[in-house]
């Protein structure tokens, strides 16, 4: 029976249509309660398994993953590589004395320190002085 016909019959007042409608909604409610009770009865491993099974089922409807991947041209790949933000590398270039000889400016030296050196040394931004564990080792112009 179509929805429009069902609406007309409901307005007319046929009791059997209303009763069938109520039964249908009651069955749906019972089904939902049964599903909820079954979910509550499952342990965490079963819930996780069902979750991944549903994810795989959904992914299978979309088609193979390789077909969904964009195929980029060489120019597009190069453009993306240029636009990607450059991350600072924290690698050891040498002791701080050699870096001061090489770069001269203490602020520039701190851009080239390794992670361990950054934890060991402190830079005073105003004067350019470098401290090691609170002790002055470079005053901005010469070694102390």
Q: Give the pLDDT of residue 13.
A: 66
Q: Give the pLDDT of residue 3.
A: 80
Q: 15-41 and 3-12 are packed helices; what angle lies between their axes, rounded to 10 degrees?
A: 120
Maximum distance among all alpha carbons in the chain?
A: 102
Q: Give the pLDDT of residue 20.
A: 84
pTM of the model as a whole: 0.41
Tens of each residue's pLDDT in the chain, 144 residues: 678 877 777 777 666 777 888 899 999 999 888 888 888 888 899 989 999 999 988 888 877 776 667 788 899 999 999 999 888 778 888 898 898 888 888 888 888 888 888 889 998 888 888 998 888 888 877 777
Q: Give the pLDDT of residue 15.
A: 65
Instruction: For residues 140 and 124, give the distance between their C-alpha atoms in angstroms, rounded to a whole number.
Output: 9
Residue matched to tokens 């342990």:
43
Query: How far apart, in Å, are the Cα atoms of 37 and each of 42, 51, 63, 109?
Result: 9, 17, 33, 64
């Amino acid at each position: 029976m179509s929805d429009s016909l069902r609406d007309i019959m409901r307005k007319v007042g046929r009791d059997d249509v209303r009763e069938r409608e109520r039964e249908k909604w009651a069955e749906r409610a019972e089904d939902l309660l049964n599903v909820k009770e079954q979910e509550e009865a499952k342990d965490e491993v079963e819930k996780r398994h069902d979750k991944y099974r549903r994810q795989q089922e959904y992914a299978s409807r979309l088609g193979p993953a390789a077909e969904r991947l964009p195929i980029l041209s060489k120019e597009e790949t190069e453009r993306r590589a240029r636009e990607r933000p450059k991350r600072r590398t924290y690698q050891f270039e040498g002791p701080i004395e050699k870096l001061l000889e090489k770069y001269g400016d203490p602020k520039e030296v701190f851009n080239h320190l390794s992670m361990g050196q950054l934890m060991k040394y402190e830079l005073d931004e105003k004067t350019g002085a470098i401290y090691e564990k609170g002790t002055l080792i470079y005053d901005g112009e010469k070694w102390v």
